[in-house]
Amino acid sequence: MKISNTLLLGLGLASIAVAPAIAADWSYKGPTGPEHWGDLDPKYAMCAKGLMQSPIDLVDTNARGDVSVFTQYRPGPLTILNNGHTVQANFAEGSTLTSGTMQFNLLQVHFHTPSEEVKDGEQYPMVAHFVHADASGRLAVLGILFELGAANAELDKLIAAAPASKADARNVPGVTFNPNKLLPDDLDVYRFQGSLTTPPCSEGVNWHVAKDSVSMSAEQLKALHGIMGDNARPVQPLNGRLLVAPAG
Ligand SMILES: [Zn+2]
């Protein structure tokens, strides 16, 4: 998961994203890869020391729950960027995720190839992370796993507009993007407490990952992977935390 520093500042979360100019560069391989994130910068200490890190393997669990989780996403103008780690679309106000008694506003969606979350050890070609925040700055993410199959027409809008290299957010004239088209019909989710999956790996994130995947074509995967490369953090230990599987 990657959130722009500007966005975090706007949410009053400056403490976990201070001084981006001097924060260390990080990547997905080599000396600045995930195994080293915690050593690259004191601000990234949680990447190494955190006990509730993301992503995780969604394994069978004794905990099952039917807490109501639903989205009310609205189609809107397409605003897209490439932050050097992922392709991301930003959303205007007005779309929400409700999880139990909590309600969060949809901020952005971004992608990881291959998937970060893994189901019973199985990695998927891609995952979409829908990032939300509530009025007090608490974060919630909804993860949607993609499998290879039929092309997703809505995804084509993102692919056509995605900057091939690092680029600031820009509006794509004449394009309306509907985030609902990236969701499965049934939103039965795994729920757990976790972290940002990118430095600074801050914890306290309310994670939801849909049990049902959606499809994308091999060509679509090739296009997005061609831009982002491998950008998945390896799975992290559960460390005894509660993982609630969908009841159904
Ligand atoms: Zn992510």
- Rounded to two decimals, the pTM is 0.91
Taking the centre of ligand 1 as the mean of its atom positions, its distance from the CA of residue 247, in whole angstroms, is 25
Reduced 3-state DSSP string for the chain: CCCCHHHHHHCCCHHHCCCCCCCCCCCCCHHHCHHHHHHHCHHHHHHHHCCCCCCCEECCCCCEECCCEEEECCCEEEEEEECCCCEEEECCCCCEEEECCEEEEEEEEEEECCCCCEECCEECCEEEEEEEECCCCCEEEEEEEEEECCCCHHHHHHHHHCCCCCEEEEEEEEEEECHHHHCCCCCCEEEEEEECCCCCCCEEEEEEEECCCEEECHHHHHHHHHHHCCCCCCCCCCCCCCEEEECC
pLDDT per residue over 110-168, tens digit each?
999 999 999 999 999 999 999 999 999 999 999 999 999 999 999 999 999 999 999 99
Residue 37 has pLDDT above 70, yes or no: yes
Give the model's confidence band at 61: pLDDT under 50 very low, under 70 low, under 90 confident, else very high. Answer: confident
Taking the centre of ligand 1 as the mean of its atom positions, its distance from the CA of residue 24, in whole angstroms, is 19
Full domain range(s) for residue 76: 5-246
Catalytic (active site) residue 225? no
Instruction: Please tell me which residue in 36, 85, 112, 132 is annotated as part of the active site.
Output: 85
Specify the CATH number for the domain of residue 27: 3.10.200.10
Taking the centre of ligand 1 as the mean of its atom positions, its distance from the CA of residue 73, in whole angstroms, is 19
Taking the centre of ligand 1 as the mean of its atom positions, its distance from the CA of residue 116, in whole angstroms, is 8
Total structural domains within the chain: 1
What distance in Å separates the CA atoms of residue 142 and residue 194, rounded to the nearest whole number?
12
Give the model's confidence band at 248: pLDDT under 50 very low, under 70 low, under 90 confident, else very high. Answer: low
What residues have CB less than 8 Å from 25, skipping those under 6 apart? 32, 40
Residue-level pLDDT at 116: 98
Taking the centre of ligand 1 as the mean of its atom positions, its distance from the CA of residue 111, in whole angstroms, is 6
